[in-house]
Structure 1
Amino acid sequence: MRNDNKKSVIVGIFVLIGIIIFITGVLTLGGQQKKFVKSIQLTTVFDDVAGLQAGNNVWFSGVKIGTVRRINFFGDSQVEIVMNVEEKVREYIRKDSKATISSDGLIGNKIIVIYGGTTQAPPVENGDRLMSEMPLDTDKMMETLQENNKNLVTITENLKVLTSKIAQGEGIVGAVMTDSVLADNFKSILSNLEKASVNSNRMLVELNKFSSSLNKEGNLVHDLMNDKELYKNLQTSIQGLQATADNAKVLTENLNEVTYKLNDKSNALGMVLNDEEFASRLKHTLIYADSSTMNLNRGLEALEYTWPFRKGFKRMNKAKENN
Structure 2
Amino acid sequence: MAKQGENNVKLGLFVLAGLLVMMVAFYMIGKNRNIFGSDFELKVRFTNLNGLMEGNNVLFSGIQAGTVKSIEMINDTTIQVNMVIDSKIKTFIHKNALASIGTEGLMGNKVVNIQPGKDAGSSVNTGDLLTAQHMISTDEMLQTLSKTNNNIAGISAVLKTTVLRLDSSAIFDVLNDKTIGPSLKSSLSHINTASKNASDMTMGLNSLVIQIRQGKGTAGLLLTDTALAGNLKQAVRKLKLASDNAGSLTAQANIILSSVNHDMNDGKGTLHALLKDSLIVQKISISLDNIMKGTDGFNQNMEALKHNFFFKGYFKKQEKKKQADKKLSAQ
Matched-pair contact (CA < 8 Å) for 2:215–2:224 = no
Deviations 1:162-202 (A, max 9, x none): 43444xx4224234246x6xx65x46853762574486379
How far did 1:230 drift? 6.0
Is 1:225 the equivalent of 2:219?
A: no
Matched-pair contact (CA < 8 Å) for 1:94–1:119 = no
Query: What does residue 256 of structure 1 align with?
Result: none
Task: Sort the Cα spacing of 1:170 and 1:232 in 2 relative to 1 into closer, same or farther, 3 A.
Answer: closer
Matched-pair contact (CA < 8 Å) for 1:30–1:36 = no
In 1, Cα distance between the equivalents of 2:122 and 2:28?
30
Q: TM-score, normalised by structure 1?
A: 0.56
Query: What does residue 106 of structure 1 align with?
Result: 106
Matched-pair contact (CA < 8 Å) for 1:33–1:55 = no
Task: Sort the Cα spacing of 1:152 and 1:12 in 2 relative to 1 into closer, same or farther, 3 A.
Answer: farther
Is 1:236 the equivalent of 2:227?
A: yes
In 2, Cα distance between the equivalents of 1:119 and 1:190?
59
Q: Secondary structure at the match of 1:33?
A: coil
Aligned residue pairs, count: 234
Structure 2 runs not aligned, ≥5 long: 242-331
Alignment of 1:135-154 (within 5 A): 135-154=135-154
Query: What does residue 190 of structure 1 align with?
Result: 184
How far did 1:12 drift? 9.6
Q: Secondary structure at the match of 1:124?
A: coil
Q: Secondary structure at the match of 2:95?
A: coil
Matched-pair contact (CA < 8 Å) for 2:215–2:223 = no
Query: What does residue 39 of structure 1 align with?
Result: 39
In 1, Cα distance between the equivalents of 2:118 and 2:195?
64
Task: Sort the Cα spacing of 1:234 and 1:107 in 2 relative to 1 into closer, same or farther, 3 A.
Answer: closer
Q: TM-score, normalised by structure 2?
A: 0.55
Deviations 1:89-136 (A, max 9, x none): 211110111111112233222111111136731100111111010121
How far did 1:73 drift? 1.5
How far did 1:246 drift? 7.0
Alignment of 1:9-158 (within 5 A): 20-31=18-29, 32-34=32-34, 37-117=37-117, 120-158=120-158
Task: Sort the Cα spacing of 1:233 and 1:96 in 2 relative to 1 into closer, same or farther, 3 A.
Answer: closer
In 2, Cα distance between the equivalents of 1:96 and 1:150?
40
Structure 1 runs not aligned, ≥5 long: 252-323
How far did 1:224 drift? 5.8
Q: Secondary structure at the match of 2:216?
A: helix
Q: Secondary structure at the match of 1:126?
A: coil
Task: Sort the Cα spacing of 1:34 and 1:193 in 2 relative to 1 into closer, same or farther, 3 A.
Answer: same
One-letter code of the match for 1:174?
Answer: F
Task: Sort the Cα spacing of 1:21 and 1:175 in 2 relative to 1 into closer, same or farther, 3 A.
Answer: farther
Task: Sort the Cα spacing of 1:14 and 1:156 in 2 relative to 1 into closer, same or farther, 3 A.
Answer: farther
Name the Cα RMSD after superposition. 4.6
In 2, Cα distance between the equivalents of 1:94 and 1:68?
19
In 1, Cα distance between the equivalents of 2:40 and 2:237?
106
In 1, Cα distance between the equivalents of 2:192 and 2:41?
82
One-letter code of the match for 2:74?
Answer: F
Matched-pair contact (CA < 8 Å) for 2:90–2:123 = yes
In 1, Cα distance between the equivalents of 2:21 and 2:88?
26
One-letter code of the match for 1:102?
Answer: G
Task: Sort the Cα spacing of 1:38 and 1:206 in 2 relative to 1 into closer, same or farther, 3 A.
Answer: closer
One-letter code of the match for 1:170?
Answer: S
In 2, Cα distance between the equivalents of 1:160 and 1:55?
53
Matched-pair contact (CA < 8 Å) for 1:34–1:67 = no
Matched-pair contact (CA < 8 Å) for 2:222–2:228 = no
In 1, Cα distance between the equivalents of 2:55 and 2:173?
70
Alignment of 1:273-312 (within 5 A): none
Is 1:200 the equivalent of 2:207?
A: no
In 2, Cα distance between the equivalents of 1:205 and 1:127?
76
Task: Sort the Cα spacing of 1:191 and 1:69 in 2 relative to 1 into closer, same or farther, 3 A.
Answer: closer
Residue range with higher mean Cα deviation, 131-140 or 60-69: 60-69
Query: What does residue 173 of structure 1 align with?
Result: 171
In 2, Cα distance between the equivalents of 1:245 and 1:165?
73
One-letter code of the match for 1:238?
Answer: A
In 1, Cα distance between the equivalents of 2:224 and 2:47?
92
Query: What does residue 319 of structure 1 align with?
Result: none
In 1, Cα distance between the equivalents of 2:164 and 2:137?
40
Query: What does residue 304 of structure 2 align with?
Result: none
Task: Sort the Cα spacing of 1:231 and 1:78 in 2 relative to 1 into closer, same or farther, 3 A.
Answer: same
One-letter code of the match for 2:133?
Answer: E
